[in-house]
Amino acid sequence: MPPAKKRTRSYDSAKTRAAVLAQFGHVREAVAALTPEQLAGPTRLGEWTVRDLVGHFSMVLGSVVRYLEAPEPAARELALLDWPLATVTAAARIDEDTRAVDTGDPVGLLAATAARYEELVAVAPDGRLVPARFGAMTLGDFLVTRTVELVVHTDDLNAATGAGAPYDRQALAACTRLLADTLAVKAPGGAVEVRIPPYAVVQCVEGPRHTRGTPPNVVETDPLTWIRLATGRTEWAAELDAAHVGASGERADLSGLLPLMG
């Protein structure tokens, strides 16, 4: 019997829009408190400094502005669940674009980006197509991808500076769910149940499908650990050893499927 076709999860538009602004607001507050020395410091993102990371934050939100200012594409080309796996092809281009951002005034840069974003998004419908980097997609879907970028890079910012920027609950939920659903797309099946409380539960990996009682193969972790695993910020073995991941069952090793994003 073929596996059941997976349906794309729905996201509440108003909550997603609010989450993007809230998380970007947390980033702005954190960046405003950084010293010049902190801005010049390293990150875990290769050769990027914290200042480069700030430039990337402006790109994350600024891309919405650029796409809304561009002509609307004729047809949709990319589904939401296709986006995370597509990102692995663009690392070099993203690095080049990030380094081209003028970050001489990081606080002013983020403020200007937020102002223009709010102006354009306020009047744009969810169904409006935008010419995103990997193919045209709806604005509603693209805004969900912005929660992933903002949450992941807020974690990068905190790791680099100790800023302690908070995570908006709705942004963290959307990020966690999209990456969990991506795993289910990459490894379809019902042999393993992945639990990321309180936001997501998915089944994945080919094999006997669980129907009743306690699943024989279970993986459980917290949202931030999951996000770090899914984006290559940490490794499966390290998190398993640190007891940040629980894995039971002979099929519950996800190391060969991670990371999901580049």
Structure tokens at 210: 């669980």
- Residues 260 and 86: their CA atoms lie apart, in Å, by 9
The confidence band for 154, taking pLDDT boundaries of 50, 70 and 90, is very high
Contact criterion met (CB below 8 Å) for 233 and 44: yes
- Given this model, what pLDDT does residue 138 score? 98
- Reduced to 3 states (helix: H, G, I; strand: E, B; else coil), residue 192 is strand
Could you give the angle at which helices 13-32 and 106-121 cross, rounded to 10 degrees? 170
Contact criterion met (CB below 8 Å) for 214 and 196: no
The count of other CB atoms within 10 Å of the CB of residue 250 is: 9
Q: Span 141-162, mean pLDDT?
A: 98
188-224 residue pLDDT tens = 999 999 999 999 999 999 987 666 667 789 999 999 9
Residue in the block written with tokens 């081209």: 100
90-115 residue pLDDT tens = 888 999 999 999 999 999 999 999 99
The pLDDT of residue 251 is above 70: yes
With 0-12 / 13-18 / 19 or more C-beta atoms within 10 angstroms meaning exposed / middle / buried, residue 108 is: exposed
Q: Structural domains in the chain?
A: 13-171 (1.20.120.450), 187-257 (3.30.1050.40)
Could you give the angle at which helices 169-186 and 223-230 cross, rounded to 10 degrees? 50
The DSSP call for residue 15 is H
Residue in the block written with tokens 């306020």: 122
Q: Span 227-236, mean pLDDT?
A: 98
List CB contacts of 100: < 8 A, sequence separation 6 or more.
none
51-89 residue pLDDT tens = 999 999 999 999 999 999 999 999 999 999 999 999 988
For the whole model, what pTM was predicted?
A: 0.95
